[in-house]
Amino acid sequence: MEPKYDYVKISSIFPKIKNIKKYSSTPESIGNVPFVTSSSLNNGVASYVEEISFVGNCITVSTNGKCFDSFYHEGAISISTDVELLTNENLNAYNALYICTILNAETFKWGYGRKPKNDKVFETSIKLPIIKKNKPDWEYMEDYIKTFVLKDYSFGKIKNCMETNNLNPLKLKIYNESKEVKLFKFSSILDKKLYKAKAYAKIDLEVSDIKRDGYIPFVSRTDVNNGVDCYVKDDESLQKEAGNCIIIGDTTATIYYQPNSFLAGDHIVVCRQKWINKFTALYIKTLLDKERYRYSYGRAFKKDFINDTILALPINESGNPDWEYMENYIKSLPYSDRI
């Protein structure tokens, strides 16, 4: 079951540790203890020394240079003055990688002219799965990371991602066999016409940058976050679009599958068909994405162009698009359980 998410301040789960010995310069390698600096390379390790600042199971965060580079360390380490150290009794090699990924996403906020000094690391809030307020779901983060790794590591057995897939994945080898394909004009596989969604302007709506109760996605022509620009307060007076559809930003040729109800911005074309589910939609989206280079603001991907787009699709014995094959193909891909 998908957990709840909330913003958690670093200091609430990683209290600052006092009296840690730090070193102002990088010493020569004269020992076997990793010396961690603000380097973004080699897990932050610049040399090996004899002195120990902390004994393992921790995350180091750079506060200098390309700031907020975060790494997990299992054993004893020595650290420089431009590194902060985070540790928690629930931390392990798996959930630490989850948190490092989130921390590294904060890098854009900092630079040489704006370094996260003076405890700014601990004042930072990051979005994590939670059990309750300020209590991260450590187990969920661990299990999530385990599904991405396909072999054993020294710190424990890791499950193959396909073993946890509830979709009963097919054997990949069947897709190494040739499958007959046929060219179809997009309009020929539509049982319903494309249409423009009712357009709303964010300035007229109550907006939130994060998902919260009572808010729905606001879909625009953005090229990130599955087209979700922000979240807007739900209201019965709004003309919402139901989920399970493909949306296309016509002036940007940005194409996404939308599983849930949403409100649309300007220039959003909606495709609703009997064959659409999240797997077949992703198959078709991938093919449509290959056509993006043809379009721009000066040559928008309007409905006529969309309808005339030629797609090479696998076919069944009747010569029609083999939707079952396309669905099963997407299900068989590594990490399809993350869809």
Sorted by sequence, the CB contacts under 8 Å of residue 124 that are 6+ apart come out as: 9, 10, 106, 116
| Domain 172-338: CATH class, spelled out | alpha beta
Distance of alpha carbon 96 from alpha carbon 138, whole angstroms: 9
Fold agreement between 4-146 and 172-338: yes
Contact 161, 337 (CB under 8 A): yes
Mean pLDDT, rounded, for 43-63: 87
Contact 258, 241 (CB under 8 A): yes
Residue 119 pLDDT > 80, yes or no? no
The overall pTM is greater than 0.85: no
Position 107 scores a pLDDT of 75
Position 115 scores a pLDDT of 66
Least confident among 16-25, 58-67, 77-86, 322-331: 58-67
Position 149 scores a pLDDT of 59
157 exposure class (CB count in 10 Å sphere: 0-12, 13-18, 19+): exposed
Residue 35 pLDDT > 60, yes or no? yes
Least confident among 120-124, 179-183, 327-331: 120-124
- Of residues 7 and 150, the one with the higher pLDDT is 7
Give me the percent of the chain exceeding a pLDDT of 90: 50
Mean pLDDT, rounded, for 248-274: 95
pLDDT band at 23 (very low <50, low <70, confident <90, very high): confident
The verdict on domain 4-146 having CATH code 3.40.50.2300 is: no
Give me the percent of the chain exceeding a pLDDT of 70: 87
Domain boundaries, the chain: 4-146, 172-338
Residue 173 pLDDT > 70, yes or no? no
